[in-house]
């Protein structure tokens, strides 16, 4: 029995669309991260980028469980003294709601060069519309 290793030339990338309305953030992020890495395919190879594209719509309607709306703190550091900024999830949702999903998915990817390439295939939009209809997107059913 031979070991299968995926090749960059043989990869077939599909497009999936996910509706984030009333879905828990963490559970949705796990499913998205697995599709971006290609773990849903039988040709998955950890060191080869075999993943698909994921389009997330209705990012402003994502569900934060418990007291995370006011209690969860997002930190940003510029690298300069007193350059740390703290914002709550409610403040992020009011200005840039797509960043909540982006950071959740990015935190579930491995920290290497491959994940920096992988996260570029995630497209997040605040409303129900997206410009990727020409790519024959498939609807991804998620029961979280």
How would you write the pLDDT of the chain (144 residues) with one tens digit per residue? 788 888 888 889 999 999 999 999 999 999 999 999 999 998 898 899 999 999 999 999 999 999 999 999 999 999 999 999 999 999 999 999 999 999 999 999 999 999 999 999 999 999 999 999 999 999 998 776
98 closest CA partner among 32, 38, 142: 32
Q: Are 20 and 28 in contact (CB under 8 A)?
A: yes
Element (H, E) at 116: helix 113-118
Indicate yes or no: pTM above 0.75.
yes
32 closest CA partner among 46, 11, 7, 15: 15
- pLDDT of res. 4: 83
- pLDDT of res. 5: 86
Q: What is the maximum alpha-carbon separation in the chain?
A: 58
């Amino acid at each position: 029995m031979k070991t299968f290793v995926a090749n960059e030339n043989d990869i077939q990338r599909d497009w999936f669309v996910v509706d984030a309305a009333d879905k828990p953030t963490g559970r949705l992020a796990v499913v998205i991260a697995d599709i971006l890495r290609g773990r849903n395919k039988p040709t998955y190879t950890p060191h080869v980028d075999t993943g698909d594209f994921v389009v997330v719509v209705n990012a402003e309607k994502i569900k934060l469980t418990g007291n995370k709306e006011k209690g969860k703190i997002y930190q940003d550091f510029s690298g300069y003294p007193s350059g740390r900024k703290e914002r709550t999830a409610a403040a992020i949702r009011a200005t840039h709601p797509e960043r909540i999903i982006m950071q959740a998915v990015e935190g579930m990817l491995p920290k290497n060069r491959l994940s920096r390439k992988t996260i570029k295939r995630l497209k997040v939009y605040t409303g129900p519309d997206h410009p990727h209809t020409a790519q024959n997107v498939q609807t991804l059913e998620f029961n979280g």
